[in-house]
Structures are given as C-alpha cells and as structure tokens.
Amino acid sequence: MIKSFTHEPPISVGTAQEFEQVRLVFKGAHFDEETICRTLKIEAMSDAGSVKIDTLDTTEISDQLRLLIRLFLFQRMVPRPEVDRVFDNATRDAFLSLRILGSGDFGDDQFYATVLLYPVGGFWIASDRHSNPDGSEFAPPPDSVFPAIYEGTLRFLRLLPQVDADDALDLCAGSGIGAMVLSRHSKRVVSSDVTERATEFAAFNCALNNLVNVEAVGSDLYAAMKERTFDLIVAHPPYVPSLSIETIWRDGGMTGELVVKRVIEGAPDHLRDDGTLFVLSIGLDTNDGPFEERARKWLGKSADEFDIIFGYFEESTPLEMLKRLASREKNLGIKELRELAEAFEAEGTIKMPYGALVMRRHVKNGHSKPWTARVKLIGETDGRVWEQAFALHRRVSQPDFVEELQKATPELAPGLQVQVTHVVHEGSLVPAEFLFETDKPFTAIGRFDQWMVPLIVHFDGTKTPVQIYNEAVPGLELPEGFGVRDFTELVARMIERGFLILK
C-alpha cells in the first residue's frame, strides 16, 4: 500500500483556479447524479456498487464522462495515453495537483483515482477508497472517511430538518456532506469531526464545491465549540455496538449509544431557543423507559425545555441485533458476542429501534408543556415532516384550539386510506369497523366505529365541524352525551394524527 492511502489524506486543498478547472470538467461531462444513474441504470447512487463495469454500455456518453466514471466510481487504472487523449494538460495537472489522481505507484504509466469521488446531494464529494488500484490486499485506516452514497447517509440527508438557520452544526461530519446540504438553508455551517482526516476531506469538498459558508473544524463533538451556539445541530454518529472503537465512523461502544448519548448531553449548552437537534442512530428501549424518554433524561436540567419526536424505521430485539452483527462482522466470535449480549442485558435492553430523534427547544419563559412522541417512518419520509409536526402540535395544544377548530374547515388527508371490516348480522354482511390509515406526515392507524364514519367522511374543506355535526346528528344514533365539543375534540386528534388536514 502506498503511504497516502493509509497514513494521510490523499487529497490537497490547492488553488481556486485548480478547483475551478475540475468543476468545469465535471459540469461539461455531466458528472452528476441524474446522468450517472441513467447511464448505470440504477435508481440511486447507493446502487452504484452493484453495477459491473464490464457489462456497462457507455456508447451514448462522452469520452470524458466515461473516463471519470471509470476512474472515480469504478476505481480502475487507466493507461496514460488514454488520459492524455481525453483530458487536456490543464485538466490533468489540476487533478494531479489536488492529488485526487495519481500515477506510477501501481504500474508503469498508469493513472488511478486516489479517492472515491461522486456526485451526491447536488455536490461532488471525495471520500476514502476501499481498495488498492491494482487489486492487492487493502486494509482501510481506522479513521477512514466513509462514502456519502451509502443508503444510511442518503437517508440522513433526506431526513435533515429543512429549516432556515443563522448557524448550524454538523457533528460526526465525515466527508462534510451533511454540512454542505445544510448550507443551502443556513448562513453559516460548521462541519465538525473528531479525526483530522475527515476534517481535511470536508475542507477539500467545500473547496471543490466552492462553498464559502461552511467551516471544517476538528473537534471531539462540542469540544472546540466553546461558547458557540447554533440554531440547528445534526449528527449521524457511529452507533454500531462494538467491544472497542477500531473503526471510528462505525463503532458506537458496547450498546451503540456511547456517542449518541454525548451528542444529546452536550446539546443544551450549544442549542439556542427554538433550535433543533437531529440525530439519526439506533437507541435502546430499556427497563428504564423507551429511547426518547431516556434521551430526555440525558438533557439534564434542561429536560423540560424540549419537545421530542422519535421517528423509527425498524425495531430489533437484542438477539436480532447480535445475529446481524455476527453475519456482518467476521471478527466477532462466540466470546465477543456473549460480551455484547451481557452489555445489552446489563442495560435492561428490550428493543433497539433505529430512526431519527428530533428535539425542538422551547423559547425561554414560554409556558409549553414538554411533549414526547414516537412515530413510524416510511422510506419516502423527508425532513419537511419535523417542522410540520412541531408546528401542528403547537397549534393543537393552544388552550383555545377547540374553539378555533369549530370555525375551521378541515378536509380528509389526500393519502388517507380506509379499510372496512364486514361481519355477518342477521344473515347479511354489514360494515362493522373502519380502519383509517395514512403515512403522512407519519404512519398512523386509527379504528373507528360505524356511527363515527358519517360524521368524518363529510370533511371536504367547505364545512366546519359544527356544521357537519348538526347536519348528521338527526339521522344518527350517538353515544349518550356525545356533543359537538366532543366531536370537535375528536377532530383535533384526527388532525394531529394526519387523517384530516387544515389548510
């Protein structure tokens, strides 16, 4: 292995002119997500690893794009004459000066990419490669910068809160892609990572994309932030349960919560009023409570200052997690797995859900009661849902909301689906139960008795709850004492769950 792959970042922050030359080549060759996905016939960049270069049809793309894909995505060596034919001297020299292209160490007169470089999130990102150009044995460094095109990272980017911020902080930033996405809605962003290697890659990627409002900082979480505060803090920390911290971007301690807990504990000192903390990771439901309630306790004396939503994708039992680790991590034997199992048991672990923990800090001197919710996410969920959910909860929590709602005109949510269960009654099938389902903003299921449905189905955005109740009641048999206010309170709950919407 050459030194630059293992001991120091194989990139160099060169001149503005060199970066501009590279950008011009990428733009001119259409080295972008849409073109590459179409060329590789894949749905997303995370699928690029499944494509075999020998079966790829590149007859419809330019020589430059073909060479860029071969070098930076498929990590193949290319003879010097071919590089000289496609790239002019200025382009070749810019690639060499920035050290993203190398030659001579893996065969005479052969060029190779020193990094994995790809378009993602509307940016070009360089990260560590995971193989040697000549196919020889490769051992990645412990501070390897993880690619930003894996499914987990793409999910992190998709779920990032879409809020405007003066100052934002991306912890455990790796390549810097999270901070770069935040830069679209933030005046200033800090990309922070504990390793020098990641910090240098983040600085390089910001220069490559000509971003001037992102600062790459080396820091053990908040250590270098001192008294700086932010409107938005995000983190995609290492959370894989591990006996030791050998791979920095991945290993999260015995239960996986080592770094996650520290991110949450430090947030109150650096998050402004009305600010948001977002963390994508696994968490533990234990005998002490569900993950989101345990996370609230980690906030210490500031615990009551936050509303919390935990949106999860999946839940694993400790046994399921151990089986997953055993299949993925070849260095985990019976002894190591037993140690992890004992750590889970000592923590009182019941389940290990994976998802996004989102905390919104109240404005000081406010009178909001802290709110905690766990919701189910789907693959298409994006970062718009967090602000929608917090805003909706604030609205429905107002003391006068029921009175306000009596004058409003809700309507059925566009994505609402209703399943009807029929039973046999006096020899005929009759509807007995109605199951309402929606996945926006979050997955929700509600069961309603038959007498409720004639009230609910008339919400078309033109009538108030009072009008619908008064029109429907004469022909319905309602439970004793079920008045218009009771109905309006039911409507409020349906709005909060996403079955009805307010324009």
**In order along the chain (503 residues), what is the average pLDDT of each group of 10 residues?**
58 94 96 94 89 83 94 92 93 94 80 94 94 81 90 95 97 97 98 95 97 96 96 95 79 89 97 97 97 97 96 95 88 88 95 97 75 92 93 89 94 92 88 88 88 88 93 83 91 92 87
Residue with tokens 């307010």: 502
Contact 413, 404 (CB under 8 A): no
Over the stretch 325-376, which tens digit does the pLDDT of each residue have?
A: 998 877 788 998 999 999 999 999 999 999 999 999 987 655 578 999 999 9
Cα separation, 170 vs 165, in Å, equals 13
Q: Specify the pLDDT at position 1.
A: 40
DSSP state of 224: G
pTM of the model: 0.91
Q: Specify the pLDDT at position 142.
A: 84
Q: Could you tell me which residues are beta bridge partners of residue 353?
A: 315
Contact 346, 257 (CB under 8 A): no
Query: What does residue 331 show for φ and ψ, rounded to 5 degrees?
Result: -85, 0
Q: Specify the pLDDT at position 7.
A: 60
Assign 71 to helix, strand or coil.
Answer: helix
Q: Specify the pLDDT at position 2.
A: 45
Residue with tokens 């910001």: 206
